[in-house]
Amino acid sequence: MAKSVVCSSDALSELLVSAHLNVYINRTTSGVRAKDQEKDLTCYAIASAVVLHLAMQRIHGREGEYPSFDELKDEMIREHGIRRAHTSEVLQKICPKYRLHYRKVGIKGAKLAIVNKRPVVAKFYLTGDEWDAFENFYDTNPDGILTQNDLDVRKRPTSPPPGTSGHAVVMTSYNSKCLTFTNSWGEEWADKGFFRVQNADVLGDQLEFFDVYWELDDLTEKEQEKYRKYGSEVAKRLIEFLEGLEFAKYTCPECEQTSLVTEFTGTLSKVQCPKCFRDFSTSDNAGNILALNVYLTSLSR
């Protein structure tokens, strides 16, 4: 099955990074619900923590402090509070602490960052009525693509200008049809926490993107050496890993029966056992094999 999806070490590398990103983002935001944010308006911290943590994970063999997603999120909330914050000010303060940089970019810059495997923080602003339309669309079309026919910010009155409220999310990918974001409202919302928008214009001209990155000069000598060696190591491991995927087995934590990895079904973070038909989380390391298989299967359909 894997051979029908990928055919080169470069493609394998891209595939695993994409699968890892989907698994990571779903897990890190799975406990956050919209009702929680009605009280604690901390979307800025959640989106920023995802992007910061992923940026640091790209520094293979990083020396010094390597905080978790939760540690980063909590650090920003302690510093900036639970009642919203300016994303640019938050990133300006925290990035230098971890040898990172940030920059505000347009949609072209955001797409370029994503091509280079850097998801970006995105912030957009809607009126009360527009938020109602936004939420209603994904309630009825969880895997749909939001267009200007569904939400048209151009129809806002200009005099007086209406009040808006902002929300921070993470832009994870794009294609010829849409932009894909992950929200911080949990896996039960929209398409397992992800939502799609036809283009940047749908969310209005106040849409902002923030790219978090590091440069080679920011790395220590040991980190630079590790970075140079990492590419060939990854390609070799991926080829070996995927060649054995169809023979890999996994023991269900619910019924303790063992099945082939390819027999399990589900999502990137929840898998269903083919024998007891119960769902369980794939948050352990071995479960990443299951998540990757689910991802590969979805691509081959």
For the chain, which domains are there? 9-218 (3.90.70.10), 242-300 (no CATH)
Question: For residue 55, is pLDDT > 90?
Answer: no
Confidence of residue 246 (pLDDT cuts 50, 70, 90): low
Q: What's the number of CA atoms in the CB half-sphere (13 Å) around residue 229?
A: 8
Q: For the segment 158-175, what is each residue's pLDDT rounded down to a tens digit?
A: 877 788 899 999 998 888
- Higher-confidence residue of 229 and 176: namely 176
Confidence of residue 248 (pLDDT cuts 50, 70, 90): confident
For residue 245, what is the DSSP state?
A: G
Residues 6 or more apart from 288 whose CB is under 8 A from it? 20, 23, 282
Q: How far apart are CA 34 and CA 36, in angstroms?
A: 5
pLDDT at residue number 245 = 63
Question: For residue 82, is pLDDT > 70?
Answer: yes
- Higher-confidence residue of 240 and 119: namely 119
pLDDT at residue number 238 = 57
Mean pLDDT in the chain? 78
**Share above pLDDT 90 across residues of the chain, in percent, rounded to a whole number:** 40
- C-alpha distances in Å from residue 86, one per residue of 81, 104, 122, 166, 186: 11, 13, 12, 10, 23
Nearest one of 254, 212, 224, 248 to 97, comparing CA atoms: 212
For residue 96, what is the DSSP state?
A: G
Q: Which of 68-82, 225-239, 260-274, 275-289 has the lowest mean pLDDT?
A: 225-239
DSSP for 257-297 reads -EEEGGG-EE-SSEEE-TTT--EEE--STTHHHHHHHHHHH
Strand partners, 168: 123
pLDDT at residue number 219 = 76
Confidence of residue 17 (pLDDT cuts 50, 70, 90): very low
Mean pLDDT to the nearest integer, 47-67 = 81
Q: How far apart are CA 162 and CA 158, in angstroms?
A: 8
Query: Is the pTM above the cut of 0.75?
Result: no
Question: For residue 66, is pLDDT > 50?
Answer: yes
